[in-house]
Structure 1
Amino acid sequence: MSAAGMDHLNSTHRLTNQSDFSSLFTKQVLPSLYFVICIVGVSLNGVAAWIFFRVPSDSGLVVYLKNMVVADLLMLFSFPFRVAAQLGLGGWRLHVIICRYTAVLFFSSMYVGIFFMGLISLERYVKVVRHTSSSSCSCMSRLGGVSLLHVLQNACFAQGLALLTWSLFLLCFLPNAVLTSRPANEENWRHCKQLKTPLGLQWHRGSIIFSMALFWVTLLVLVFCYASIARHIYQSYRRVRRDSSNICRKSHCSIFSILVVFFICFVPYHVCRVPYTLMPESGFSQTSRYLLFQLKEGTLFLSALNVCLDPIIYFLMCGTFRESLLRKLSRKRRIRRIKTTAVTLSKT
């Protein structure tokens, strides 16, 4: 091999080693955590899907929650690939599969779930604040508030909006899989960007900007909705104390649950993602890059934890889901009690 060829291989090797920020945390701790939330998430979302898809889609809220279940199940599908890759299984070809397909599935499902959280919060805001406020205003204002509420809660409108949402995200994220089409080998598998075509790099950059903008807009919507509902509840409490406790409990359980899950799962990752995205163009030292990568991987795990926390939202927000779950659990306990009684009688 020529000297130039040796220099090229050596420089590539140095670049690979410098860019390999793996650690005990990413190679052993995170795979175990992902495995645990994969098992728990499949169990919880399997039960949620089993109950939800026996519930008629008779309101916008139910439609939005059902789509969140679908997004969580799709995200869960990508977990085994991530765990296997972090454990060093499958070789470089598995990493190529992750770059081209499962990472795209993971992030597209995550942002679909974020978007539906925003829609649910907006629907709750219109129901609790705008609808109640419009009842004490003029006829024109009342009609406007009620019509907006009816639109957001209408099942047909919600289904059409859900279809439009999935189509939009498919259009945004699917090209990231299609345009990651450069030949893969044992030298370029560590960096997904090296597998992208020039158009793929531009599309990837555009999808990052779109997803980051979507997150921050959704965060503003959630904060605005929760602050408005909290203020409305406080004002209602001051006016009619005896009626406010029930309103307070229902509204806080629903909107507050979404806000807590959103801040736990998604805010840390997106705060970390800003400097991480700018890292290639920045003057960060190698140590800073290493620490930032560890932080990014840790906060990304918090985003994945969303699949285990979303069922709490379903239970608190949807009365039909809660009643169906409790009814099925009580039925199982009753059947178990009858079987135990029958066994006891047979032994006597």
Structure 2
Amino acid sequence: MLQSSSLSSSACKWSNVHSIFTKQVLPPFYIAIFVLGLCLNVVAAWIFFRVPADSGLVVYLKNMVVADLLMLLSFPFKVVDYLGYESFDLDVIRCRYTAVLFYFSMYVGILFIGFISLERYVKVHIQRATFARVLAVLTWSLLFLCCAPNVILTSNLEEKQSGKCVDLKTPLGKEWHKVSSYISVSLFWMTLVIVTFCYTSIARQVCKTYRRMRRDTIDICRKSNRSIFSILVVFFICFVPYHVCRVPFTLSQFSHSGFSSDVQFWLFQIKEGTLFLSAMNVCLDPVIYFLMCRTFRKSLLRKLSVRARRKSLTTETGEQSSLSKMGFWH
């Protein structure tokens, strides 16, 4: 009886912590990055899709914008789920479509960061726009083939046993869920190695050129370093923490995994927290666009300058009109 009471108390404690973190802390943060990310990426799309895709870098960045916009579509469903709105149909939509869309978009963005790193490092064939377009199509196709079975095989809709999406999967769907997790995580760690190697090599080369360059060109090297470290910082902050815990969490979802309930609980908490860091990339990617792409930066600054000039002219015209009505202008 005492043991049963203790277990009940423990479950209550975990429920309370779960409630505080996922129902009170995460929803406002997701709402904030949804609004900010939507504004930033709509502006980025508006600028990018007026810019000709005449280089590999621009092709990759345009695809990153599309991936971020797709990821943003999943945020409202995640917020509704965190807030505790109980609906079997909503759970099916979330588990079958929007959660898959979130991960699909995330890994598409991760791979394009890897391609940008290679493009910056090699700067020969991979920067050609035609090659980049072919690589982009292959990337979207590969990730679609990896993620589509998670949609198709989430079809065990006869009964809902718990709040876990894994309960909606068929036996084959559960196995594919593990396989696709291993594929995605492997793609991430491969991309991490590429990104780290490429930008470390580039940074080392830039530092070596400091001594040979005149003082008036040192600013160019500093700007280059800023763009290099911006993509590294975004990559390590957004994606590394989540992928450290993804495989253990995936294994813990299955009843035969051997993980205790306490370990499962903490893995879930860590997964949700690090997943939010991954979601933050929709707000940080536009910083990469601004620092890395000169065409994007010039277009944005030009449009802001034109907008400011029009506002100034409108204000000046309004002031002159007011003065004229008051008799100061004839």
TM-score normalized by structure 2?
Answer: 0.89
* CA drift at 1:221: 0.6
SS in structure 2 at match of 1:182: coil
SS in 1 for 2:52: coil
5+ residue gaps, structure 1: 1-15, 128-148
Q: Distance in 1 between matches of 2:133 and 2:144?
A: 16
Q: Which residue of 2 aligns with 1:315?
A: 290
> 1:23: how far off?
2.3
CA contact (8 A) 1:257 1:313 kept: yes
Equivalent residue letter for 1:160 = V
Residue 314 (structure 2) aligned to one of 315, 323, 339: 339
CA distance in 2 between partners of 1:110 and 1:30 (Å): 19
Q: Write out per-residue CA displacement over residues 185-205 of structure 1, whole angstroms, 9 at most, x where no aligned residue.
A: 3x3251212211122122111
Task: Select which of 124, 133, 136 maps to 1:162.
Answer: 136
| Aligned pairs for 1:50-69 within 5 A | 50-69=46-65
Matches of 1:23 and 1:312, distance apart in 2: 33
Q: Residues of 1 paired with 2:278 and 2:214: CA distance? A: 39
Alpha-carbon shift at residue 274 of structure 1 (Å): 3.4
- When the two chains are superposed, the root-mean-square deviation of aligned CA atoms in Å is 2.1
Deviation of 1:244 (Å): 5.7
Contact 1:96–1:184 (8 Å) recurs in 2: no
Q: Deviation per CA, 1:120-165, whole angstroms, max 9, x where unpaired? A: 01111113xxxxxxxxxxxxxxxxxxxxx1x211111111110111
TM-superposition CA deviations, 1:34-54 (whole Å, max 9, x none): 011000010000000000000
Query: Does 2:273 match 1:277?
Result: no
User: Is residue 180 of structure 2 the alignment partner of residue 183 of structure 1?
Assistant: no
Q: State the alpha-carbon separation in 2 of the partners of residues 76 and 303 from structure 1.
A: 12
- Identity between Structure 1 and Structure 2 (%): 62
1:88 CA displacement: 1.7
**Cα deviation code 1:276-306 (max 9, x no counterpart):** 2343566544333322211111110000000
Using the alignment, how far apart are the partners of 1:296 and 1:327 within structure 2?
A: 41
Name which of 306, 313, 327 aligns with 2:281: 306
d(CA) in 2 for partners of 1:120, 1:76: 22
Residue of structure 2 aligned with 1:222, choices 192, 195, 204: 195
Any conservation in 1 of the 2:203–2:228 contact (CA below 8 Å)?
A: no
**1:60 Cα offset (Å):** 0.4
C-alpha distance 17-91 of structure 1, shift in aligned 2 (>3 A): farther
- Out of 251, 256, 267, the position equivalent to 1:292 is 267
**In structure 2, distance between residues paired with 1:243 and 1:234:** 15
> Once the two structures are superposed, what CA deviation does each residue of 1:18-46 show, in whole Å capped at 9, x if it has no partner?
99783211111101110110000100000
* Secondary structure of 2:126 counterpart: helix
Aligned to 1:262: 235
Q: How does 1:112-131 map to 2 (within 5 A)?
A: 112-127=108-123
The count of aligned residue pairs is: 310
Any idea what SS the aligned residue of 2:18 has?
coil
Decide which of 144, 147, 157 is 1:173's aligned counterpart. 147
Contact 2:181 2:247 in 1 (8 A): no
Correspondence 1:212 to 2:185: yes
Instruction: Extract unaligned runs of 5+ from structure 2.
Output: 1-10, 324-330
Deviates more, 1:244-253 or 1:71-80: 244-253
- 2:182/2:247 contact within 8 Å kept: no
Partner secondary structure for residue 56 of structure 1: coil
TM-score normalised per structure 1: 0.84
